[in-house]
Copies of this chain bind each other. A is one copy, B any other.
Amino acid sequence: MSDLAYASIAELGARLRARTLSPVELVEDLLSRIERRAELGAFITVTAEAALAQAAEAAEEIAAGRYRGPLHGIPVSLKDLIETRGIRTTCGSRILATHVPARDAAVAARLREAGAILIGKTALHEFAYGVTTDNPHFGPTRNPWHVGRIPGGSSGGSGAAVAAGLGPASLGTDTGGSIRIPAALCGVVGLKPSYGRVSRHGVFPLAWTLDHVGPLTRTVEDAALVLQAIAGADPGDPTTLGQDVPDFGAAVHRPVRGLRVGAPADAYHRVMAEDVRAAFEEALGVLRGLGIQLGEVRFPRPVEASIAHTAILMSEASSVHERWLRERPEDYGEDTRARLRRGQFVTATHYLRAQRTRALVREEVDGLLGASCAALVMPTTPCVAPAIGEETALVGGARYDVRDALTRMTRLGNLLGLPAITVPCGIGEGGLPVGLQLIGRAMDEQTILAIAHAYERETGWHTRHPEAP
């Protein structure tokens, strides 16, 4: 394993800028690693040739003194529902298996502009509608910590790639936890920005009022660097907000001493496996050691909010797929088809009640985050990665549907549009990673980046990697 495999963007960037490392060398090294780890199924498409050409271009530019910034010459991958001009974008589906977009998604264009090199398109749960990334059309993606386990999903390829040293950063999407779940189960950092922070233009929707785009990386600082490049208003996505984009790289280094953080103490948030509980309680101790004031808080109506999330997700997803589901149902995998069909039975009154619940809970959580704390802390998932093929997971003595279990702690962040980050916080059952989640106030990624960074530096969990074969 080369020393490049687990280097951060910040480390690689310094070497690229100083020209002690060439983008071509970096990309060649990476491509050979991707080839060696093909059994992980992390990529649907590897863009080797284009990446080498882009690397040569970046090398020239840097040599000519035209350094673009911290992502210049850095290889990144994109979840394969983010459109890329001239490069097929399958959405992990048979329906779009040969779809070659004519344009880049806004985030793809912004990364390109920042000098990043597209290395490939990562695997995902079909149409992002699930958490296992056990894809019926492209095969399962495997967890680099244990190839019999799922990487989580739906951005499972992104999680597996970053965890296995197959590139320092990948963009995923998150509708119920699809960035944070694979990041947590694969032991890397995952950041779901605030709703409105990052354009979804050219990103295939799952449920448009819940969808977010964000990075998976190996360090919190790297997540901030990628977010910096992709954040900001975009006329192509009217839901993006016109606020100024803060300096996330600087925010990472803000002091955290004295910050008040709430740990939800309601029954809903207490459901977790013993290994996760142990890691979480240890993490709380570390946060206290950093001078953070931890307090228990009562998260309002978590069960109602959770039901509202499901109703909105199912309604919007079935709406997006309405036509294909009618015209070519046989082209969907079984689980996605069944779920989309179930969504067709949700009534409008149920959907509208869910949106009302959402508004109510948002107001209450805004109050909570306004008054008593700057962020919430909880595990990212209540258990470590289940085995591939398992439909249920044992959590705290009870069996849950895998999707319900894995999205339990993450989906409310989507419902409320709040920024949320996961960082590795320990090793649980089977030697598998556990994630710690921080949720911030709307449009305040800065505070959770600062806390996550301080935690990461204090514990060093981010330096633990799966053993390569």
Contact = CB atoms under 8 A, between A and B. Distances in A.
A322 interface: yes
B353 A315 contact: no
Nearest to A316: B352
Nearest to A321: B349
Contacts of A348: 311, 314-316, 318-319, 343, 346-348, 350-351
A343 B352 CA distance: 12
A353 B322 CA distance: 9
A316 B351 CA distance: 10
A344 interface: yes
Contacts of A350: 348
Contacts of A349: 315, 318-319, 322, 343-344, 346
A354 to B, nearest CB: 9
Nearest to A312: B348
A79 to B, nearest CB: 24
Identify which of A316, A352, A353 gathers the most chain B CB atoms within 10 Å of its CB: A352
A319 B351 CA distance: 9
Contacts of A345: 347
Contacts of A352: 315-316, 319, 351
Nearest to A315: B348
Contacts of A314: 348
A350 B352 CA distance: 12
A343 B353 CA distance: 14
Contacts of A344: 347, 349
A351 B351 contact: yes
Contacts of A316: 348, 352
A402 to B, nearest CB: 25
Interface string A22-54: 000000000000000000000000000000000
Interface in A417-460: none
A318 B347 CA distance: 10
Contacts of A346: 347-349
A209 to B, nearest CB: 10
Contacts of A347: 344-348
A50 to B, nearest CB: 35
Nearest to A208: B352
Interface string A296-333: 00000000000000010011101100100000000000
Contacts of A318: 348-349
A392 B315 CA distance: 35
Interface in A352-406: 352-353, 356
Identify which of A343, A346, A347, A353 gathers the most chain B CB atoms within 10 Å of its CB: A347
A353 B350 CA distance: 16
Contacts of A351: 315, 348, 351-352
A316 B344 CA distance: 18
A348 B308 CA distance: 13
A341 to B, nearest CB: 11
Nearest to A345: B347
Nearest to A354: B348
Nearest to A356: B319
Interface of A: 311, 314-316, 318-319, 322, 343-353, 356
Given A311-B348, A319-B353, 14 more contacts: A315-B352, A316-B352, A319-B349, A322-B349, A343-B348, A343-B349, A344-B349, A345-B347, A346-B347, A347-B347, A348-B348, A348-B350, A351-B351, A351-B352
14 contacts: A311-B348, A314-B348, A315-B348, A316-B348, A319-B352, A319-B353, A344-B349, A345-B347, A346-B348, A347-B347, A348-B348, A348-B350, A348-B351, A351-B352
Listed from nearest, the 6 A-B pairs whose CB atoms lie closest are A315-B348, A348-B351, A319-B352, A346-B348, A319-B349, A318-B349
